Structure 1
Amino acid sequence: MNKISNYQYSFTVVLDLEGYKLEDLEKLKLSLDKQWIKNFNLIVLEKNKETFEHYNEIIENEKNDYIIFLKEYEYIENSFFYEVLKAINTQEYDLIYTNEDFIKNNQFIDVRYKSNISKQLIYSFNYIGKSLILKTSFLKKIKGFEAYNSTESLFYDLVLKAIESTTNIHFIDSVLFHQNLDLKKNHNSENNLVLENMINRTKIDVEIKEGLVANSYHLKYLIKNKPLISIIIPFKDQGKLLQTCLNSIINLSSYENFEIIGISNNSKEKETFRQMEIFEQKDSRIKFIEYNVPFNYSHINNYAVKNYSKGEHIVFLNNDIEIISSDWIEALLQYSQQEEIGCVGAKLLYPNNTIQHCGIKVGGENVAQHFLAHLKIENTGYEYRESLVQNVTAVTAACMMIKKTLLEEIDYFDENLTVAYNDVDLCLKAIRKGKTNVFTPYCTAYHYESISRGSDKNGEKLKRLLQEQAILKKNNKEILEKEDLYITDNIFNQMQVQIHDIKNKSILKKIRIYSKPIREKIKKLFKGCK
């Protein structure tokens, strides 16, 4: 408290109460009365003009440092201004946002845990909402609010304008806003119009499509110049797997300008060489090379890219992948072609129709964790993350696209990582170059994981796995010491509740669920708890 009070900031709370009196809104009134720090003024709107006009008039005349806009159905945590002051005492952020929860019939029903700014996710789904603290001078700079009837769309547009104008944005991973759904009126969303206006402002070549889940969107970027794509597939024998993989690419792919470079690493079976010959004759875009060195995933892929690839973009693809979406290359390429984006990953399913990969959480006990692994595809994960394009810290190279020029710039895969963590390391190198990585659910495939190599969970393979984990930690110490940018511990734990059908959520207050053994133990202990 003393540290914070050394530098005071002033706040204005704007109350838009839709005909209610503050005295009638007990929770809102109490939340303001019981603030630990009371350095704010109140403005109660009188409804004699459009909401956005009221807001902009206040912004134009406001002298206080920060503004918070509250509706009649909202109230704030007693520690609200204390937590906000803690943040801006370290840096004067232009925009701050927090987690929020929802109450109905005086009962808590849900919480929306958020994460740092994910540009691709906010284009897909308005995950930030209106739990905002806004710097007054910044609001004046971006000219405040645009004309929308829907409160959600009013603030969605504001957030998008903010992201376009500043990176000085901060997320407080605490529940500081509460919504009383009994008082909330539903308005027709204008989010499609919000996105159209964003596209007009930013001049991006994109088409707005409906997303895979309700109230979500898919921004489909125009593919530029139809570049050549080099698909790199290392393998050792397993001719049937290779056949399935190659047939799925040839028979399904709607994008035709690609080459496939298959790298045989110490294959011995006659059937494998027969399949190689058949496919080379079947399609001139396919060629095979033999590179019979001790297995090193990183070295083999680097060798193929450096010596044989001609494409502008590289797809690293496991031989145990079966493509099931026809526009899978376009789905990856529309992001890979963007300068700011590094690695792009796919939605991968196990043969039993559970999720294998939707992105990787980095940091924590296990260093790198597939955060939605084992979710049944007929179920929905937390906040529909398996169905939304979003920024992620890392993606698997079982199916990954990256610009060849960027791959060269970040010096390819680290060849000290012979089997594990090489993809995570590559993604983190891209981040250190100022890029962001992306997961897209519009590239979908089956992944018959590790059939070629077997498991890494025992003996010499486990020893090697731990050694390579140590290399990853050494290479990326600064990033790994921090919480994942996009999948916070709160979000990850909620995902595990849904994946493993844990009824007693209070267990999460006691245990951080990072590793599979812990998750399995909790599943057995608490399945069926009331």
Structure 2
Amino acid sequence: MDEAKPTDRRTEDKDPFAPYRKWVAEFDSWSEASEQKAAARLATLSVRPRISVILPVFNPPVRFLVQAIESVRHQVYPEWELCIADDASTNPEIRPLLEEMARRDDRIHLVVRDRNGHISHASNSALDLASGEFVALLDHDDELAADALLEVGLEISKQPDAAIIFSDEDKIDESGNRYEAYFKPDWNPDLFNGQNMISHLGVYRRSWVERVGRFRPGFEGSQDWDLALRIVERVSPGQIRHIPRVLYHWRAISGSTAREMTEKHYALDAARRTLGEHLVRTGRQGELIPVPGGHWRIRYSMTSVPLVSLIIPTRDAGLLLEQCLESIRGKTTYPRYEIVLVDHESKEKHARKVLAEAASAGHRIVPATGPFNFSALVNRGVAHARGDYVCLLNNDLSVITPDWLEEMVSHALRPGIGAVGAMHYYPDDTIQHSGVVLGVGGVASHAHKDFARGSEGMLNRARLVQNYSAVTGATLLVRRDLYLDAGGFDQDALAVAFGDVDFCLRLRQRGYRTVWTPFAEFTHHESATRGDDLRPGRRDAFAREVTEMEHRWGHLLYRDPAYNTNLTLRKDDFSLADSPRSGERFE
């Protein structure tokens, strides 16, 4: 009784989930020692709000229904109640089973509906039974981790005004084997507009559920998403809390592919209406476009068409610069832009020719001298910009999507948005940049690097607009006044490396979100003119820049809110960490 039940896809590849099973065995398995640790943590809670678990039921396999209920009864956290609404199940075994369980445990409350009304009506009937300060949503064939509600209680104690709490999740097969975990980022509003990343486990303050009108009939298939969006619109980001632990096991039942096919149309329609009404309520306009994987893109309407200054630092490499300029002029459909070329002592004959032709075409050439300092070059270019928006571009890029600038500007025009970044591919059509992840490789690296073009990445994140802590300065669009107010790139301490990351983090400090979009695409011949940071003569300066970033942002390098502490800092592929950085849960 949920949005679209997962299917067991593990046979598609040769056991791709073996590393996760090993990780679960080492870090996420329940034992006597873990039970003792959980009891000790429970003892630290002086306030224990009641959590009402909402369980709508309609004809589930009986053994999975029993397992779902037992997963609640076995919670370490004692202050719970289970509110079950049987939605007129036609299986004659269901009602007697539920009545017997309610008789055996007075924390279990049951209502049997006279007629089937689908999941929204059933969930509201279960809500009628609830008395808890918070409600947790559970499907009739899924399972909670034994310490799920304890973790929720601990999070509430840390953030007493929490309105929504969500956790990581995985899937569980008919035999109880766990696989395909979704290790989520912290609250990520732009990702949430493309997929219901809250999903499971989702816990909501009951007063907010009542205030926004509960579950809405007619939104079946996206009822949880619709509820969460209506609450999100009215609370502060700090009231939306993420627990980076797998607390929910989503049942994947063999044979449910047919069900997905029959329900696909209404679920898609419900999701479209969910997002469409969200745009109306928040006073925004945009086109809703399905994304492969059952998710969404909002193509925001542009409220204005500001002049954008394209800032391109360059030195020699005439063929690359020529290719870059030709792709911009030949493909870009955005009507109002200027090109500002910051020339760092180009001597190559062809480069000088390309620069002269660019000047003749009306583009401005800004000379720069001295040792190579990328941050100083972009700052110099911005100082000469006439546009209200500036877009930093490397000279080794080629435009792929003609409306790239419309896409990036449409995001930058939105309130609260700082920097906007794009999708970059290597010439072999593998991903070079789909956002920056902090801490990977030391300071930062690019998400999904070397994944094939079109890959879904971590649960479709490589295909969806979302917030990252930073994006590469190779394509970075921002309001010029924000750029200047934040002090631009740090040309003193971060002359070559990490100026873009540092700049995005300073915007974050000022309350602005960084957006990455996969719908502005470029081919990137990476660092073709800059060279290697570890080459002789550059190594020492790079080490100083690493030290500076660790000094400024060390706390975020260890726990990037757009990443997850269960994922590795050694590679760019969203694979599992050697151990959870938040500490072993059951140590």
Q: Which amino acid aligns with 1:127?
A: M
1-side partners of 2:352 and 2:64: how far apart?
A: 79
1:292-312 CA-to-partner distances (Å, cap 9, x unmatched) read: 222211112112211x21001
Q: Which amino acid aligns with 1:265?
A: H
1:157-214 CA-to-partner distances (Å, cap 9, x unmatched) read: 1111122111201111111111222287543311011111111211202121222x23
Q: Which amino acid aligns with 1:161?
A: R
2-side partners of 1:95 and 1:450: how far apart?
A: 43
2-side partners of 1:496 and 1:415: how far apart?
A: 27
Q: Which amino acid aligns with 2:71?
A: S
**Match of 1:90?**
158
Find out whether 1:302 has 2:369 as its counterpart. Answer: no
**Secondary structure, counterpart of 1:72 in structure 2:** coil
2-side partners of 1:15 and 1:56: how far apart?
A: 10
CA-CA distance at 1:368 after TM superposition: 0.9
1:277-320 CA-to-partner distances (Å, cap 9, x unmatched) read: 22233x33x121222222211112112211x2100110000111
**Match of 1:356?**
432
2:399–2:523 CA contact under 8 A, matched in 1? yes
**Match of 1:476?**
553
**Match of 1:74?**
142
1-side partners of 2:202 and 2:459: how far apart?
A: 19
Q: Which amino acid aligns with 1:172?
A: I
Which of 467, 470, 478 matches 1:391? 467
**For residues 108-507 of structure 1, what are the structure 2 equivalents within 5 Å?**
108-148=178-218, 150=220, 152-166=221-235, 167=237, 168-182=239-253, 186=260, 187=263, 188-189=266-267, 190-211=270-291, 213-281=292-360, 283-284=361-362, 286-306=363-383, 308-363=384-439, 366-377=442-453, 379-416=455-492, 417-480=494-557, 482-491=558-567
2-side partners of 1:366 and 1:208: how far apart?
A: 38
Q: 1:3 to 1:24 in 2, by over 3 A?
A: closer
**Structure 1 unpaired stretches of 5+:** 499-504, 514-530
1:16–1:71 CA contact under 8 A, matched in 2? yes
**Secondary structure, counterpart of 2:233 in structure 1:** helix
1-side partners of 2:404 and 2:326: how far apart?
A: 14
Q: Which amino acid aligns with 1:450?
A: S
**Match of 2:75?**
35
**Secondary structure, counterpart of 2:526 in structure 1:** coil
**Match of 1:55?**
123
1:425-454 CA-to-partner distances (Å, cap 9, x unmatched) read: 000010000000011011111111111121
2-side partners of 1:495 and 1:252: how far apart?
A: 34
Q: 1:44 to 1:258 in 2, by over 3 A?
A: same
**Structure 2 unpaired stretches of 5+:** 1-40, 86-111, 582-587
**Match of 1:518?**
none
Between the aligned residues of both structures, percent identity stands at 25
1:359-417 CA-to-partner distances (Å, cap 9, x unmatched) read: 11113551111121111225442212221111101000101100011111111111121
CA-CA distance at 1:24 after TM superposition: 6.6
2:441–2:569 CA contact under 8 A, matched in 1? no
**Secondary structure, counterpart of 2:152 in structure 1:** helix
CA-CA distance at 1:271 after TM superposition: 1.7
1:48-106 CA-to-partner distances (Å, cap 9, x unmatched) read: 36343443455467432111222212111111121111111122211111111112232
Q: Which amino acid aligns with 1:475?
A: R
**Secondary structure, counterpart of 1:71 in structure 2:** coil
2:55–2:126 CA contact under 8 A, matched in 1? no
2-side partners of 1:405 and 1:204: how far apart?
A: 23
CA-CA distance at 1:329 after TM superposition: 0.5
Q: Which amino acid aligns with 2:114?
A: N
Q: Which amino acid aligns with 1:100?
A: E
Q: 1:436 to 1:492 in 2, by over 3 A?
A: farther
1-side partners of 2:570 and 2:165: how far apart?
A: 23
TM-score by length of 1: 0.89
Find out whether 1:105 has 2:174 as its counterpart. Answer: yes
TM-score by length of 2: 0.80
Worse-superposed segment, 14-23 or 171-180: 14-23
2-side partners of 1:438 and 1:126: how far apart?
A: 18
Q: 1:438 to 1:28 in 2, by over 3 A?
A: same
Q: Which amino acid aligns with 2:473?
A: A
2-side partners of 1:220 and 1:20: how far apart?
A: 38
2-side partners of 1:326 and 1:251: how far apart?
A: 9
1:227-285 CA-to-partner distances (Å, cap 9, x unmatched) read: 1000011111111111000000000000121000011111112221111122233x33x
1:103–1:180 CA contact under 8 A, matched in 2? yes
2:446–2:572 CA contact under 8 A, matched in 1? no
1:59–1:139 CA contact under 8 A, matched in 2? no
2:391–2:475 CA contact under 8 A, matched in 1? yes
Q: Which amino acid aligns with 2:208?
A: F
CA-CA distance at 1:495 after TM superposition: 8.2
CA-CA distance at 1:121 after TM superposition: 0.9
**Match of 1:522?**
none
**Secondary structure, counterpart of 2:193 in structure 1:** helix
**Match of 1:502?**
none
Q: 1:223 to 1:361 in 2, by over 3 A?
A: same
Worse-superposed segment, 24-33 or 74-83: 24-33
Q: Which amino acid aligns with 1:457?
A: L
2-side partners of 1:326 and 1:492: how far apart?
A: 35
